[in-house]
Amino acid sequence: MSLRIEHLGGRALCEDLGRPGHAHLGITGSGAADRASLRRANALVGNRPGAAGIEIVGTLEVRAEAGVMIALAGAQTRAATVLAAGERMSVPFPQRGLRTYLAVRGGLATARTLGSAATDTLSGLGPAPLRAGDVLAIGRDLGDLRTVGDGSGAGDGAGDGAGATDGAGDDTAGGTPLPGPLLMLSVHPGPRADWAEDLGVLFAGEYRVGEESDRVGTRLAGAPLARARAGDAGELPSEGLVRGSVQLPPSGLPVIFGADHPVTGGYPVIAVLTGAAADALAQARPGQAVRFRRTGAW
């Protein structure tokens, strides 16, 4: 069974929930940028939450080579649809949001690297980005058919322990809310919050998502944060960092690391997004207005 990519306008990547546990080897977790939406798309076709699907930025048309069940979640939601051999499905450019996840029942049978089919755009590990003409084999990684819903959020998705391991705080039934005119990002304290001279600046103003943002990081434009004086002439030896880290480079303009973040970094991390905020940010287009708000133990 397979799916052929007929047309692609933008970028399509094979993604699952990534390959955590190898950061000590310099390999980042990678996986879907908006994890809750991948989980939701999988639930809609009765897959387990981490089955491999397609992360789409732009437009895509697929053709079923044999009967398949497909659903969408994220920037667009479409309930499970069965395509007969030869039938096509188009995923148009979304009205809001950025990333749409296409899940096919059985998951994509793409070759695994360290147990995951995720494309890591930082290191190049995993499958190459998808192109028109690619024929994607579909697997038999089947989950509970009872989660197949009509797109309204009904279904027993919670029974599989979704959300237990990645702190996304995700709602498999609901997916990720798409950003409105202003996206609020909840942040916990980061390990180097004291490297910012006045953290209040981060919470006072509005920032905008920059054009140069990608799966590695989201660059923000807005009020720069000055650094406080810190020991060692302002040098911070590289240290481990996580998805959702808000890093303060010398420019003072924060960078928020995404799914393909480097495993170590030498600039201070002043705050860390919640899992849900990281998912929401993955739906933000360049130009999106964002503000930060405190959560957890500040």
Partner 1 sequence: MSPARILPCGPTALLVEVDRGGGQRATPADLAVALHERDGAGLLGDVVPAARTVLVTFAPGAGGVVRRLIGETLAGLDGDGAGAARAAGALVTIPVRYDGPDLAEVARRSGLTAAEVVSRHCAPTYVAEFIGFAPGFAYLGGLDPALRLPRLESPRTRVPAGAVGIAGDYTAVYPRPSPGGWLLLGTTTMTLFDLAEDPPTPLRAGARVRFEAIG
Q: Kindly state the smallest distance separating residue 214's Cβ from partner 1, in Å.
A: 16
Please choose, out of 38-46, 189-197, 209-217, 282-290, the segment that lies near partner 1 by the rule CB under 8 A.
189-197
Cα distance between residue 63 and residue 213, in whole Å? 31
Which of these, 83, 73, 78, lies nearest to 3 by C-alpha position? 83
Q: Which of these, 169, 149, 174, 173, lies nearest to 159 by C-alpha position? A: 173
Among 9, 151, 191, 252, binds partner 1 (CB under 8 A): 191
In angstroms, the Cα distances linking 46 to 68, 94, 104 are 12, 24, 9
Binding mask 219-248 for partner 1 (x = CB under 8 A): ------------xx----xxxxxx-xx---
Is 111 an interacting residue with respect to partner 1 (CB under 8 A)? no
Instruction: Choose the binding region for partner 1 from 14-22, 48-56, 63-71, 88-96 (rule: CB under 8 A).
Output: 14-22
Q: What per-residue string of b and e applies to 143-177 under the rule 16 or more CB within 10 Å gives b?
A: beeebbbebebebebeebebbeebebebbbbebbe
- Between 29 and 149, CB nearer to partner 1: 29
Return the residue of 139, 155, 179, 262 that touches partner 1, per CB under 8 A.
Answer: 262
C-beta of 237 vs 250, nearer to partner 1: 237
Give me the half-sphere count of Cα atoms (radius 13 Å) on the Cβ side of residue 87: 11
Interface with partner 1 (CB under 8 A)? 20-27, 29, 113-114, 123, 125, 164-167, 169, 188-192, 231-232, 237-242, 244-245, 262-264, 269, 272-275, 296-297
